[in-house]
Amino acid sequence: MKLTSKGRYAVMALVDLARFNNINPVSLRDISLRQGISLDYLEQIFSKLKKDQIVKSIRGTQGGYVLSKKPNEIKLTNIFHAVDEKVKTVKCKKDSKKGCNGKATKCVTHNLWDELENHINSFFDKKSLEDLLKSNNENRI
Amino acid sequence: MKLTSKGRYAVMALVDLARFNNINPVSLRDISLRQGISLDYLEQIFSKLKKDQIVKSIRGTQGGYVLSKKPNEIKLTNIFHAVDEKVKTVKCKKDSKKGCNGKATKCVTHNLWDELENHINSFFDKKSLEDLLKSNNENRI
DNA sequence: ACTATACTTGACCAATTTAGTCAGGTATGT
DNA sequence: ACATACCTGACTAAATTGGTCAAGTATAGT
């Protein structure tokens, strides 16, 4: 089981954006420099964040991105969903001969995996961008 | 984020093993047939389960595998650990210029990922093979 | 002793996913 | 007009996954 960089980058970038969000739009170039994430890759990530209305874009000189909502309204669930960082549990295919279909342990793992998904998602549902900003500030005293 | 088949197969195979464990050792061939998992792949998985002393092997005719412990003593943590199904969180490398080192959001994601790992592991720590056997039996009434 | 069964080990491989790069755009403030 | 910065899609190298294949070794039963 693993978490990919894309989700982590999205979180890092949004925390960065939230911190510098107050006055002007924040350009991806700045985020790229501050966070050490490739600009090209950031563009891919932000196009997804925009599609899910987590950020808004402002084009042209002095343009950049702005949060669409307040930091406490943006949950990790929303972020991960936007960038396709989802909990995949590799279930059995319905019409394959392999797996649990009609077999002895049918559904054991299905129920288990469903429980696990719920468990993980409940974590993501609770954490907001604001929570992360707070813990970030505490660390930088 | 995803869970691999290896972990799922290990769980399925062990539930199967636990059910038929009472009288004789259970051969991988039987598990393979009942669960629809490739024999060759099962061998790889069981060699890892054996190394972590979750199962014992008995060679020769009528041989097979037996659980090393009682089903309630075998937690999902143990199983996943044995087959290297671990929560990888793609952390920043220490000496790379990329990532969070010395950057604005240093440790935001580190703390977050650590919390998540704990959250997930607490789930795995609680669930035992016995729990799965029970829910399996309930399903087959 | 022979043989069938079943565990043991290690090399190999195709398909998929990941984490990007590259090359072109288009919109807009000054 | 021009620099900035968003936008889009194609491409790719490396790693991972989910196996297969081949060649063993150990043991119970005959």
- Output the DSSP codes for chain A: -B--HHHHHHHHHHHHHHHT-SSS-B-HHHHHHHHT--HHHHHHHHHHHHHTTSEEEE-STT-EEEESS-GGG-BHHHHHHHTT---B--PPPTT-SSSSTTSTTTTHHHHHHHHHHHHHHHHHHH-BHHHHHHHHHHHT-
Predicted confidence at residue B97, as pLDDT, reads 45
Chain D footprint bases within 7 A of protein beta carbons: 3-10, 16-22, 25-29
- Structural domain contains residue B116: no
Least confident of A69-73, A76-80, A89-93, A109-113: A89-93
Q: Which candidate from A12, A101, A123 shows the least CB-CB separation from B105?
A: A12
Predicted confidence at residue A78, as pLDDT, reads 96
- CATH number, domain containing residue A90: 1.10.10.10
Instruction: Identify the residue with better confidence: B102 or B19.
Output: B19
Closest residue of chain B to A107, computed from CA coordinates: B136
Q: Which candidate from A7, A97, A136 shows the least CB-CB separation from B36?
A: A97
A-B contacts (CB, under 8 Å): 142
Predicted confidence at residue A1, as pLDDT, reads 66
Instruction: Identify the residue with better confidence: B92 or A97.
Output: B92
- Structural domain contains residue B103: no
Q: Which residue is nearest to nucleotide C29 (CA to C1')?
A: A61
Percent residues over pLDDT 90 in chain A = 62
User: Of A31-40, A101-110, B14-23, which one has max mean pLDDT?
Assistant: A31-40
Least confident of A32-41, A79-88, B42-51, B64-73: A79-88
Average pLDDT over residues B20-33: 90
Predicted confidence at residue B140, as pLDDT, reads 57
Per-residue pLDDT at A136 exceeds 90: no
Per-residue pLDDT at A98 exceeds 50: no
Mean pLDDT for all residues in chain A: 86
Q: Which domain holds residue A69?
A: 5-139
The closest alpha carbon to A18, from A62, A68, A57, belongs to A68
With a 7 Å cutoff on the CB, does B40 touch strand D?
yes
Predicted confidence at residue B96, as pLDDT, reads 44
Predicted confidence at residue A81, as pLDDT, reads 94
Average pLDDT over residues A103-113: 69
Reported as a pLDDT band with limits 50, 70 and 90, residue B39 is very high
Give how many domains chain A has, as a whole number. Answer: 1
Element (H, E) at B56: strand B55-58
Which of chain A's residues 63-92 bind strand C, using a 7 Å CB cutoff?
63
With a 7 Å cutoff on the CB, does A68 touch strand D?
no
- Structural domain contains residue B49: yes
Predicted confidence at residue A92, as pLDDT, reads 62
Closest residue of chain A to B1, computed from CA coordinates: A3
Reported as a pLDDT band with limits 50, 70 and 90, residue A25 is very high
